[in-house]
Amino acid sequence: MAVFAEEVKLSGYTTLRLGGPARRFVEATTEAELVAAVRAADDAGERTLVLGGGSNLVVSDDGFPGTVVHVGTRGTESVPGENGRLLVRAQAGEEWEPFVARCVADGLAGIECLSGIPGRVGATPIQNVGAYGQDVSETIVQVRGYDRETRKVVTLDHAACRFTYRHSAFKGSDRYVVLDVTYALRESDESQPVAYAELARKLGVEPGARAPLKEVRDAVLELRRGKGMVLDPADPDTRSAGSFFTNPILDPAQLADLERRVAGRFGPDAAFPRYAESPAPDGTPRTKTSAAWLIDRAGFAKGHGTGPARISTKHTLALTNPGGGRTADLLALAREVREGVREAFGVEMVNEPVLVGVHL
C-alpha cells in the first residue's frame, strides 16, 4: 500500500540536493498505487508533481505546495520481437543505470551509450534522453501511461510520442503519467554503430563502426566520470542535474548571426562546432551548435561561480551545488551564464532540466 507523509524535504530526492518541502508526499510502489495516488490528487484539486529519480529537476527553495507522487514501481519483462530484436518492457520506477547494465550483460544493444545516466526509466521518454550519439527514441516502441484527461490507462506508440531533440509529447505537459516503457533492443554482443566522434576515438574505431558492447559501455562510463556525470557521493561535481542547457538549434538567420559574432570576436578564420540537424516542420534547414563551446567562449570557465553554486570543474555544461547552496543560488548562476552567452553570441540558451516553482 502507498505510503503517505507530510512536509518531506525534496532535496533528498534530487541529484542537485536542492528543493524545499512537499506539502504531501506519496510513495507508490505498484502501478495501481501510482494511478490511484494521481487520481486522488486530481479529484481533490491538488497540484501534483510526479517524481522519479530527481536527476533532471530543479525545485524551488519553497518546495511544492501540493502532492508529490514518488514513482517506486519496479520490474522488467521481455518478449521476442522482429528482426533480431527483443522487446523489453520496464516499469517507470526502474533505475535507469542498473537497467542499462543488465541489458548490456544480456547482450542487448541499443542503449549502451546511455550508460551512467542517473534517474529512472519513466523519465527517458519524457526528455528523449540521449548521450554519445544515441537517443532513447531510437529504441522506444511504446509507452504506457495514465491519461489524466480521460482518466484511463493508454498506450502511445512511437509516432504518438512525438519525439524530437530532448523533447516529446510528455514534456511540458502534465497530461500523461508514464507507467512503463517498451524498448526494442538488438540481440548482439556488438554495439550499434558508434556515431559520436569522442567515443569512437576512445574506442579506437572509426565513426560508424561497431565495437564490443561491454567495451562501449565501459568507455562511456569512463568518459562520463571524467566529466563528473556519474553520481558519486565523494565528488561534489556530480551534484548536478546533468547538462543544464540544451545544444542550440539555429535557423539560417541565427546561424549567420553567430558566424558574424564569432568572426568579430575571434577573427575571420575562427570556427565553432556545427552539426547537421533535421529540418524544421516547414522545411527550413537547421544547424545544431555546442552549448558547452558557447559557454566557455563567453568567458565562463570550468569551476566558475561567485556564490555557493558553480560550473562543474569537469564539464562546462553542468551547474553544480557542491554543498550549502540554495536553488536561488543555482538559478542566479544559470541566469548569469544565459545572459553572458546571449550578449556574446546572440544565442538564447534553453534549460534542459524541468523547473518546479521557479523560472529563469
Question: Residues with catalytic annotation?
Answer: 166, 243, 352
**How far apart are alpha carbons 216 and 350 in whole angstroms?**
30
Residue 258 sits at the vertex; the CA angle it makes with 256 and 260, to the nearest 5 degrees, is 70
**How far apart are alpha carbons 106 and 86 in whole angstroms?**
11
Residue 14, all three cell numbers: 534530487
DSSP 17: -
> What are the C-alpha distances in Å from 18 to residues 66, 233, 240?
17, 15, 10
Considering Cα of 305, then 310, then 314, then 316, what sign does the dihedral take? negative
Enumerate residues 6+ apart whose C-beta is below 8 A from 79. 86, 87
**How far apart are alpha carbons 113 and 62 in whole angstroms?**
36
Considering Cα of 168, then 170, then 173, then 175, what sign does the dihedral take? positive
DSSP 337: H
Considering Cα of 140, then 145, then 148, then 151, what sign does the dihedral take? positive
CB-CB contact of 1 with 36 (8 Å):
no
